[in-house]
Amino acid sequence: MSRIASVLLPMPLPEAFDYAEPEGMDLAVGDQVAAPLGPRLMRGVVVGLRDAVGGNRPLKPLAERLDEPRLPENTLEFVQWAARYAVDAPGGPLAIALRGARAPKPKPVKVLELTGAEPGKLTPARQKVLDAAAAPMSPADLARAAGVSSGVVKGLVDEGVLAVRQIVAEAAFDPPDLSRPGPELNPSQRASAEAMTALLDEDRFGVALLDGVTGSGKTEVYLEAAAHALAADPTAQVLILLPEIALTQAVIGRVAARFGAQPGEWHSDVAPPARRRTWEAVASGRCRIVVGARSALFLPFLNLRLIVVDEEHDSSFKQEEGFIYHARDLAVVRGRIEKAAVVLASATPSLESLRNAETGRYRWLRLAGRHGIARLPDIELVDLRVTPPETGRWLSPPLVTAMAETLARGEQTLLFLNRRGYAPLVLCRACGERMTAPDTDSWLVEHRYSGRLVCHLTGFSMPKPDRCPHCGAKDSLVSIGPGVERVEEEARLLFPEARVAVFSSDTVFDAREARRLVESMAAGDIDILVATQAAAKGHNFPKLTLVGVVDADLGLRGGDLRAAERTYQLLAQATGRAGRRDRPGKALLQTYAPDHAVMQALAAQDRDAFVAAEMEEREFARLPPFGRLAAVVASGTDPGQLDAFVRTMAEAAPNAEGVEVYGPADAPLGLVRGRRRKRFLVRADRTVDLSAYMATWRARVKPPASVRVAIDIDPYSFL
């Protein structure tokens, strides 16, 4: 009997399509196939096979089974689970899972090899080439290695002593060396590592929250757990997720040092051919350790035993565009599907994870304090109402004094300001016009390095004009407020002899540049680093003893659900960079609100009191982690149609116990890329299946072609 194959395509289609399996194709679930869709052939994945029973209308046959690795069933189950949870088409997460499979294959390269033939005449230069040619390499590399001109190499090729061969460079993915000892763990680290290895030995799904201050050795502890997982099973794979590309670089270095082998690297900055190699090596089980950003969670692991989510509280784990998901939450789901251990590590865990630890759903592993003699920094609040900076400056006298002392001791300062560019606002002195993006509700940010005004939301940019576009006044545009570039300018003015650098996503645009800057900071080649959050997290800079937070109040101004929590986490992280070795550290927080609960908790280093107060507020309001939230953003180019649609949508909201629907309301960001935006917010009790509720609601309405509807389960952005 012939069979029907259900094929999932990486496109926004509601479900898998059925095709006929041609005679002899012999498909299995997970196979990649070429499926006809309209006039085209699309790459898809077989998610189901069943016998064809008579009477069905004839189905189109599949064109081909691709000679590509099969997607493991667990990966497929994960993709489908993620889609249902996000109330989105499974094609979105499937596209992420296939990203590596669809990347171009690495191109073959030309290498030279010894043929065994003797050269007619053996000069010293030729001898050098023959010695260097033991390993195959490109003609240019060979000439360089031998220290001879390319003519010498060419002569040997012409004589047939060397022959050209095309090879596709295979990434080595050497097996980890598990005989290397890790550091001697201190008692509380050992207790946590043992709890994790016990979890791994149970060989079933379980989650541990690894909770320890910055510098307590969380990385050492989870690397120990990774070593255990890899040693227990020769096919075991380990995934370490990090929120930022810059952080992956540091952890890749530590993994390589611990296991004597490079891990697979996975993030948006990995070149497509390398991505392809890593994807295939993960699918074949050859690559056993992956360090990556959130999308690494969708790789086709064969035997994933341990997932580590480092800095688990970080909101960068939330993907806000395209397929919307939170990698920490999905890591727990993937762990359940794989029956693997999941470790969530943080110095400032999210309230969600803390709640799960409090209620016993997660094992709570607490590390006592900083490892060895390193101490947490002293944190002082600088009341900007009492000691303000001079006009047009951003660094207050107490901070400047502390910087001077730090420099004099030959130590390093980190100035933290979570604002890219030179100035967050440009306005006209003559008419008061604020420079905004043409099709988006946002101010244009001035960037001095590039000389442009940039919309951080959409990427729109334009040269800074010399006349006000509104009133035409010449040279009337003034820069308001500081970004990192402006603070850098001030630091250079104050300390002309100091070596000052900036670290933000505009100045450090790829992984290599990030690594270079992190290394020169670690080596002490920089005196003052001005950085956004890109550098404020996770790094170890031994000579960094002063952290100055330029605007501690910045994160509190938005006022959303997590504003206080996020500010606390970010500032605890940033201040935690100071004094990580034997030198005591200090952090100064510049604030206009020293009495705010967040500032008080930071100064007193009393995380538990802050968390308790915040939990109480959330519980009272029945907000996460005590309730669930979902957002709907409807956007459209035609305001009339959008208004009519959101009214219909409001009426169509299903009635359900324990669910409240708020809205529609104009989104705070009312216009993005020319589209007007309206929002609903849904709050539900924890017992409600919110995804099912949202799916029912969505199925009841059909937006007109000009309107797009995006559902965001557990939103982090309320804009």
Minimum distance of ligand ADP from residue 355's CB (angstroms):
22
712 binds ligand ADP (CB under 6 A): no
Which residue lies nearer to ligand ADP by CB, 226 or 659? Answer: 226
Site for ligand ADP (CB under 6 A): which residue of 14, 160, 183, 639?
Answer: 183
Q: Select from 72, 90, 206, 215 the one that contacts ligand ADP (CB under 6 A).
A: 215
Nearer to ligand ADP, 257 or 665 (CB): 257
| Residues 538-577, interacting with ligand ADP (CB under 6 A) | 540
Residue nearest to ligand ADP (CB): 217
**221 vs 382, which CB is nearer to ligand ADP?**
221
107 to 166, contacts with ligand ADP by CB under 6 A? none
Q: Which residues, 6 or more positions from 531, have their beta carbon under 8 angstroms from its beta carbon?
A: 414, 415, 416, 417, 484, 502, 503, 504
The yes or no reply on residue 185 touching ligand ADP (CB under 6 A) is yes
Cβ distance to ligand ADP smaller for residue 45 or 213:
213
- Cα separation, 281 vs 298, in Å, equals 14
Asked if 219 is part of the footprint of ligand ADP (rule: CB under 6 A), the reply reads yes
Q: Omega of the bond prior to 664 within 30 degrees of 0, cis?
A: yes
User: In angstroms, what is the minimal distance from the CB of 251 to ligand ADP?
Assistant: 9
Options 30, 72, 206, 217; binder of ligand ADP; rule CB under 6 A: 217
If the CB atoms of residues 579 and 625 are measured against ligand ADP, the closer one turns out to be: 579
Angle at 482 between CA 481 and CA 488, to 5 degrees: 155
Q: Binding segment for ligand ADP among 207-215, 330-338, 490-498, 601-609 (CB under 6 A)?
A: 207-215
**Using rule CB under 6 A, residue 212 touches ligand ADP:** yes
Q: Binding of ligand ADP at residue 214 (CB under 6 A)?
A: yes
Residue type for position 156: L
Q: Which amino acid is at 199?
A: L
CA 246 to each of CA 215, 221, 413, 588: distance values in angstroms, whole numbers, following the listed order: 18, 21, 19, 25
Chain position carrying tokens 């596709």 = 168
| 18/194 with CB nearer ligand ADP | 194
Span between the terminal Cα atoms of the chain, in Å: 55
Q: Rank residues 190 and 686 by Cβ distance to ligand ADP and give the closer one.
A: 190
Based on its alpha-carbon atoms, the radius of gyration of the chain, rounded to whole angstroms, reads: 29
356: tokens are 């799960």
Q: How many of the other CB atoms lie within 10 Å of CB of 110? A: 13
Which pair of tokens denotes residue 244? 């930022």
Nearer to ligand ADP, 87 or 572 (CB): 572
Region near ligand ADP per CB under 6 A, out of 13-21, 183-191, 550-558, 629-637: 183-191
Nearest approach, Cβ of 522 to ligand ADP (angstroms)? 10
Taking the C-alpha atoms of residue 266 and residue 190, their distance in angstroms, rounded to an integer, is: 30
Instruction: Provide the minimum distance between the beta carbon of 43 and ligand ADP in the complex, in angstroms, as a whole number.
Output: 40
Q: Binder to ligand ADP among 228, 371, 675, 677 (CB under 6 A)?
A: 371
Of 4-12, 100-108, 215-223, 375-383, which segment contacts ligand ADP by CB under 6 A? Answer: 215-223
Q: How far is the CB of 225 from ligand ADP (least distance, A)?
A: 13
Do residues 94 and 10 lie in contact, with contact meaning Cβ atoms separated by under 8 Å?
yes
Would you list the DSSP string of 535-562? HHSS---TTEEEEEES-TTGGGSS--TT
Site for ligand ADP in 485-524 (CB under 6 A): none
> CA 645 → CA 302, 322, 650, 652, 709, distances in Å?
45, 22, 9, 10, 10
Cβ–Cβ under 8 Å, residues 26 and 68: no
Amino acid found at 613: A
Q: Which stretch binds ligand ADP (CB under 6 A): 42-50, 139-147, 177-185, 234-242?
A: 177-185
For residue 425, count CB atoms less than 10 angstroms from its CB and return exposed for 0-12, middle for 13-18, buried for 19 or more. middle
Phi, psi of 683 (to 5 degrees): -115, 135
- Total residues at the site for ligand ADP (CB under 6 A)? 15
Any bridge partners for residue 344, and if so which? Answer: 209, 309
Task: Rule CB under 6 A: say whether 253 interacts with ligand ADP.
Answer: no
Instruction: Give, to the nearest 10 degrees, the angle between helix 245-259 and helix 511-522.
Output: 70
Q: What is the largest CA-CA distance in the chain?
A: 92
- Contact assessment for residue 283 and residue 69, using Cβ atoms and an 8 Å cutoff: yes
Piece of the chain touching ligand ADP by CB under 6 A; list 26-34, 137-145, 217-225, 646-654:
217-225
Stretch that binds ligand ADP, among 209-217, 288-296, 546-554, 594-602 (CB under 6 A): 209-217
Stretch that binds ligand ADP, among 100-108, 185-193, 393-401, 614-622 (CB under 6 A): 185-193
Q: Does 197 bind ligand ADP (CB under 6 A)?
A: no
In this chain, which of 220, 244, 338, 352 binds ligand ADP, going by CB under 6 A?
220
Among 80, 138, 186, 641, binds ligand ADP (CB under 6 A): 186
CB of 530 to ligand ADP, least distance (A): 22
> In the complex with ligand ADP, which residue's Cβ is closer, 10 or 263?
263
Residue 214 or 295: the one with the smaller Cβ distance to ligand ADP is: 214
Q: Residue 192 or 590: which CB sits closer to ligand ADP?
A: 192
Q: Say which amino acid occupies 304.
A: L
What minimum distance in Å lies between the beta carbon of 370 and ligand ADP?
7
13-52 residues near ligand ADP, rule: CB under 6 A: none
SS3 65: strand
Tokens 């538990």 sit at which residue?
608
Q: Read off φ and ψ for residue 281, nearest 5 degrees.
A: -70, -30
Among 74, 75, 188, 189, binds ligand ADP (CB under 6 A): 189
In the complex, minimum distance from the CB of residue 239 to ligand ADP, in angstroms, rounded to a whole number: 17
SS3 content of the chain, % helix, strand, coil (to 5): 35, 25, 40
- Taking the C-alpha atoms of residue 60 and residue 18, their distance in angstroms, rounded to an integer, is 8
Q: For residues 86 and 326, what is the distance between their CA atoms, to the nearest angstrom?
A: 10
For β-strands 304-310 and 341-346, DSSP reports them as parallel
One residue of 197, 216, 479, 575 binding ligand ADP per CB under 6 A:
216
Shortest Å, Cβ 184 to ligand ADP: 6
Q: Pick from 285, 67, 270, 307: which is nearest to 173 by CA? A: 285
By beta-carbon proximity to ligand ADP, the closer residue of 219 and 590 is: 219
Q: And the tokens for 301?
A: 């692991």
Q: How far is the CB of 348 from ligand ADP (least distance, A)?
A: 11
Residue type, 699: A
Q: How far is the CB of 702 from ligand ADP (least distance, A)?
A: 50
Least distance (Å) between residue 375 CB and ligand ADP: 12
Strand partners, 266: 292
Stretch near ligand ADP under the rule CB under 6 A, chosen from 98-106, 218-226, 411-419, 487-495:
218-226
614-647 burial, b for 16+ CB within 10 Å, e for fewer?
Answer: bbeebeeeebbbbbbbbbbbbbbeeeebbeebbe
Window 526-545: residues binding ligand ADP (CB under 6 A):
540
- For residues 185 and 688, which CB has a smaller minimum distance to ligand ADP in the complex? 185
Residue with Cβ nearer ligand ADP (215 or 421): 215
Please state, in angstroms and rounded to a whole number, the distance separating the CA atoms of residues 334 and 81.
Answer: 9
List residues binding ligand ADP (CB under 6 A): 183-186, 189, 212, 214-220, 371, 540
